[in-house]
Structure 1
Amino acid sequence: MAGKHVTRDVDTRAVLSVKDLSVQFQETYAVQDLSFDLRPQEVLAIVGESGSGKSVTSLAIMGLVELSSSGRVRSGTIEFERPGGELTDLRAVPERTMRTIRGNEISMIFQEPLTSLNPVYPVGDQIAEVLRVHTQASRKASWSGALELMDKVRIPEAARRAKQYPHQLSGGMRQRVMIAMALACQPRVLIADEPTTALDVTIQAQILALLRELKDEIGASIIFITHDMGVVAEIADRVLVMRNSLAVETGSVADVFRAPRQPYTRLLLSAVPRLGSMADSDTPAPFSLSTEGA
């Protein structure tokens, strides 16, 4: 599985640098003392079970945690290299600046498109609206741009599909629409929060291949959030493993898959199905929950 992965040489500077990040909801810490760097054109996978803190990390980067009345970023810095080369701590900028950065420079793809797309507008209009808001393009130019983006994410018959509503599209097509919206302004960083979880394995593979191609086309760096180590092996250069709000292991995908240091990482790897692993058994083996020493 991991043998298919080819490690690329990447720039050593950081496009995004998170240092000592802690996020609290009421009395509970969802993220504690988290640090990592994201390099140019790198895919960093943040992996862990539900409640590990991986999605909260993405919300903190987007400046969305404190829009919740119970959420607070308690400490840490989130330094982002803006297009001119200027390093900006996203925690220190006013909300007006963050609204400019969101979508233009850092975009996010969410897990379930039906909860993110507006059911009462055709998908082409929704992509065009992103272009109008962020680039001040005319209505005609934004519609043309929407069709180009739909072509870019390999949606067939873009002109016809653009006039359809979200419920008229398959799950894979809806996710492609979400990717088109996220790429509208060619962001430097793309955060993908479990974008393939709700899809079947064939469509999942297509979406992963599409993200790899688009990353190279627009030169973006990707933070890919998932609970699936099989997906990590397919798309990522490096992996950060989280458990109970803490980072427990990090390294290149090749190194972590070859020699995981933590029992919890080994547990995640053992959950990935392997062809032929049940050949000598009539019934499934129980899933081990032991994480002693993790």
Structure 2
Amino acid sequence: MAETQNWVPLGIDTNVPSMARVYDYILGGAHNFAADRQVGSQIEKLVPGLPSVARLNRRFLGRAVNFLMDQGVRQFLDIGSGIPTVANVHEVAQERDPAARIVYVDKDPVAVAHSQLLLADNENAAIVQADMRDPETVLSSPEVKRLLHWEEPVGLLMLLMLHWVPDEDDPQKLVATYRDALPAGSFVVMTHVAKDQIDESVDQAAAVVNRSKSADQMHMRTHAQVNALFDGFELVEPGLVGCGEWRPDGPGDIADETSMNMFLYAGVGRKD
């Protein structure tokens, strides 16, 4: 792929990998650079089942959005939405209700640029360029103010995001800040790398990411640590489980290799 294609936003250093673009590469996307592909290929060699994990995460996203729709949620805040691929939140939600409202948030300029193109004709969806660790900027953005009605329940999505937040940035407090802004009846949806379900190869893959030039550094957490991120929410059944084990409803929701189903913890919590 030529690095000078017209989809590249001005000012992007294509030599610095971004985890949003590495994820795009792992999913088989085309909006990534050589630096992203180098990191992606290195970690795929260490963890050959990683594309399966990425697909399981996307399948869980669809199930969770449909579950929230079943609970009457019609507006979503997707933190760390990444580069658009198949079955995005607005596609899943608006297929059931065209009036459903979605705000995406990402800090990666490529993810933002492509989301803007995808959503150009969609009055009920928008993208905010911001770091999730700056909730004030996210929550006060014009897009959030226009589309999200705080007297109604909101679906807050944080998939594959909180393991990029180091302990010193207090991820539990960060989630609590977003939680406190949500009205009663809202939900949070999370996936997080499962520290106590992985082997040495995943530690090696995390080390590849953390040695790269990327500002994104991986911080894996145990079941108890991820469970603590749901403080103030009531976990819905089946609780915090492996991503492939959260209410699967089809063969594509579960990987053949058991360990891949447990690579990520997944959960949905409700704010009373």
Q: Tell me the TM-score normalized by structure 2.
A: 0.32
Q: Tell me the TM-score normalized by structure 1.
A: 0.30
Higher helix fraction: Structure 1 or Structure 2?
2
- Higher RCO, Cα 8 Å, sep 6+: 1
Decide which structure has the larger Cα Rg and report it. 1
